[in-house]
Amino acid sequence: MDMANQARIKETAEKFGTDNVVVILGGGEAESAGLTAETVMVGDPTFAGPLTNVELHLPVYHIFELKDLIDPQVYEEQLSMMEMVLDVEGIIEEMRNIREECS
């Protein structure tokens, strides 16, 4: 997660409160999604960005985990192609593991 996005997340959490913010990721690789999730939950593990030593404990999900909550037509139009070419199970497993480790 780049520094600009870290700053946006931090500002949003400060403005609306951490109880009112949910982060939804859409990255195509499990490892990068996991790193981003870790960053918004317990701080920047690279110690380089605005979330260094900032534990927001924000709930974070990958869009694939929310499939059942999305209008089927919208999902089909916007996400189904990516679902066919990405390791969806790997991404979802990584997200679950990070939530377990960081909560």
* 20-70 per-position pLDDT tens digit: 999 999 999 999 999 999 999 999 999 999 999 999 999 999 999 999 999
Q: How many Å apart are CA 8 and CA 99, to the nearest integer?
A: 21
Judge whether 55 and 43 are in contact, CB under 8 Å: yes
Token pair in block for residue 70: 């999305």
Q: Which amino acid is at 19?
A: D
Rounded to two decimals, the pTM is 0.92
Query: What's the structural domain count of the chain?
Result: 1
The Cα–Cα gap between 79 and 65 comes to 12
pLDDT > 70 in the chain, percent: 100
State the residue for tokens 């991404």: 91
Residue 34: domain span: 3-102
- DSSP code at position 60: E
